[in-house]
Amino acid sequence: MQVKATLLCLVTALATNVALAYDWQALPDKAPEPADNPTTPEKVELGRMLYFDPRMSETGTVSCNSCHNLMLGGDDNRDFSMGVHGKTGGRSAPTVWNSAFASTQFWDGRAASLEDQAKGPVVNPVEMGMKDLDAALDRVRAIPGYKPYFVRAFGDKDPITVDNAARAVAAFERTMITPNSPYDRFVKGDKKALSASQQRGMQAFNEVGCTSCHSGAAFNGPTLPIGQGFFMKFPTFADNDYVARYDLLKDKGRFAVTAKDADKYLFKVPTLRNIALTAPYFHNGSVATLDEAVRVMAKVQLNKDLSDAQVKDIVAFLNGLTGEFPELAMPRLPATSGWTFNKR
């Protein structure tokens, strides 16, 4: 499930020394899809409805979109996301945009696929707060208008299941991708798509060593089989002021999932696509601006102090990773019928 981070880091670090030969990749126009859950329009339609529906949370107020807001950068611009009853967890919501290009999900990679991921927040007490997945499914069943959509997407033999709901949400998310950023157009040959500063930033991004980890079309590492995560130790260099200032030794990352010492402080390398839209930064949302995030990353991951000019250019380049967002129609959600969220 996990590539040896240190080894892979060395290998890719060697590769980045051949700066000019770096393999800059454009984002595909279509996300990969698993053989057992091909993306169909019927699943996408149902998944879009479920994604925006707050009624599968305990209070009826929290949907997937509450923390992964598709009207924004696919997150909530908060340090720690806020779930039912105003509860907060300990991590910042990652963007849902282009999550289809990640080989594991969550900051600690505890879900292998989008299908697995979709089930997590529903039963997390500080997110959607349902007792269990069956209780969430009962909510879906209690909204009669959902049934025809499940039938269309999955056939008519008991289609309303937790797995099918997760499949539909995952299929929808695979359509939430943002190709054709200025960077993509540049890579495809439009040499005016990036400004001079952005092009300098692109070169610096590689030469400084950012591409050691933030490689590939989604800037989240090499393409790996689904379920095999690409993790890095964060912070790698802890002997600097940033570590205390931004509380970077509090959350032990993947260690919380595996309890293995080797996994201490390992986090999934996140995509940098649309990074200009998703402040605050890092798993703990401790840094508010992209400038500061770039400085901190250079220091704690590469032990480098960037010049102001380098930071400016790299930030300009990162702004060029903001893609084109698909037009999204607001779903009409089927009516609640004969039940409410009343506690009385």
Catalytic residues: 127
| 325 is an interface residue for its own copies by CB under 8 A | yes
Q: Which residue has the tokens 């400016």?
A: 312
Tell me the C-alpha distance between 126 and 121, whole Å. Answer: 8
Q: Can you tell me which of 270, 285, 320, 323 binds its own copies, judged by CB under 8 A?
A: 285
Element (H, E) at 159: none
Mark 34-73 with x for binding to its own copies (rule: CB under 8 A) and - for no binding.
------------------xxxx---xxx----x--xxxxx
Q: State the nearest-atom distance from the C-beta of 19 to its own copies, in Å.
A: 30
* Residues with Cβ within 8 Å of residue 326, at least 6 apart in sequence: 175, 176, 177, 178
Tell me the C-alpha distance between 230 and 268, whole Å. Answer: 6
CA neighbours closer than 13 Å in the CB half-sphere of residue 117: 26
Question: Which string of b and e fits 239-254 if b means at least 16 CB within 10 Å?
Answer: eeebbeebebeebbbb
> Which CB atom, from 19 or from 328, has the smaller least distance to its own copies?
328
Q: State the nearest-atom distance from the C-beta of 7 to its own copies, in Å.
A: 35
| 212 is an interface residue for its own copies by CB under 8 A | no
Q: State the nearest-atom distance from the C-beta of 10 to its own copies, in Å.
A: 35
| 76 is an interface residue for its own copies by CB under 8 A | yes
> Which CB atom, from 54 or from 227, has the smaller least distance to its own copies?
54
Return the amino acid letter for 318.
L
C-beta of residue 235 within 8 angstroms of C-beta of residue 249:
yes
C-beta of residue 280 within 8 angstroms of C-beta of residue 288:
yes
* β partners of residue 266: 233, 253
> Which CB atom, from 16 or from 81, has the smaller least distance to its own copies?
81
Tell me the C-alpha distance between 267 and 258, whole Å. Answer: 12
Q: Which residue has the tokens 């967002």?
A: 325
By CB under 8 A, what part of segment 82-101 binds its own copies? Answer: 82, 84-87
Q: State the nearest-atom distance from the C-beta of 334 to its own copies, in Å.
A: 9
By CB under 8 A, what part of segment 216-255 binds its own copies? Answer: none
Mark 252-281 with x for binding to its own copies (rule: CB under 8 A) and - for no binding.
------------------------xx-xx-
C-beta of residue 200 within 8 angstroms of C-beta of residue 192:
no
Q: State the nearest-atom distance from the C-beta of 252 to its own copies, in Å.
A: 19
By CB under 8 A, what part of segment 116-155 binds its own copies? Answer: none
Q: State the nearest-atom distance from the C-beta of 235 to its own copies, in Å.
A: 18
- Angle at which helix 133-141 crosses helix 114-123, to 10 degrees, equals 90
What residues make contact with its own copies under the rule CB under 8 A? Answer: 52-55, 59-61, 66, 69-73, 76-79, 82, 84-87, 276-277, 279-280, 285-286, 288-289, 325, 327-333, 335-344
